[in-house]
């Protein structure tokens, strides 16, 4: 069972988790399902009192998704799925970018291997440190550095 503080933290983390789900699945409906499963799993199984809620939740989320991929055996299907939601246009004005630019980066991101995509999203979008990403993705620190750099390099190649 989660403490009140942990549940409050989890609530505050939902949008970040949703973005992470999108980066993993590349599909809005799958992302919604994954987020719901993640919250259910965290609530059902709880977490240690001293656990970092965000890191724990991201790990649970990723593990559920990996289980799902294994069971579906359709990992490749998701790699090439490009998602551009209608919300991009509505939000783009606030960030000063045009819809076309956002669609391009979105599509380019979806062509990256999942492990690079999730590492870059956690660092560049969610502002996680390399050490935190290392814990969330359960990979060595050096691998985080390499994946983030490779992801940025690939994005640059695709966007230039």
Cα-Cα-Cα-Cα torsion 64, 68, 73, 74, nearest 10 degrees, comes to -100
Q: How far is the CB of 73 from other proteins (least distance, A)?
A: 26
81 interacts with other proteins by CB under 8 A: no
- Part of the chain binding other proteins (CB under 8 A), chosen from 53-61, 64-72, 73-81, 94-102: 94-102
Reading the block at residue 122, the tokens are 């956690």
Q: Which of residues 61-80 bind other proteins (CB under 8 A)?
A: none
Q: How far is the CB of 39 from other proteins (least distance, A)?
A: 5
Give alpha helix (H) positions in the chain. Answer: 4-12, 14-25, 28-45, 53-72, 75-79, 87-95, 99-111, 114-120, 130-137, 141-159
Task: In whole angstroms, give the CA distance from residue 43 to residue 5.
Answer: 13
Selected from 66, 74, 80, 124, the binder of other proteins by CB under 8 A is: 124
- Part of the chain binding other proteins (CB under 8 A), chosen from 50-58, 59-67, 68-76, 146-154: 146-154
């Amino acid at each position: 069972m989660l403490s009140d503080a942990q549940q409050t933290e989890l609530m505050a983390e939902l949008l970040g988790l949703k973005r992470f789900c999108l980066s993993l699945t590349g599909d809005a409906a799958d992302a919604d399902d994954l987020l719901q499963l993640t919250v259910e799993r965290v609530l059902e199984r709880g977490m240690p009192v001293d656990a970092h809620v965000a890191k724990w939740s991201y790990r649970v989320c990723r593990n559920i998704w990996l289980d799902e991929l294994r069971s579906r055996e359709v990992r490749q299907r998701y790699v090439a799925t490009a998602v551009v939601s209608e919300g991009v246009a509505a939000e783009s004005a606030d960030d000063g970018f045009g819809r076309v630019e956002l669609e391009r980066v979105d599509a380019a991101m979806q062509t990256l291997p999942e492990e690079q995509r999730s590492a870059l999203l956690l660092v560049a979008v969610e502002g996680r440190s390399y050490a935190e990403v290392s814990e969330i993705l359960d990979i060595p620190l050096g691998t985080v550095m390499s994946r983030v750099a490779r992801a940025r390099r690939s994005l640059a190649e695709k966007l230039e």
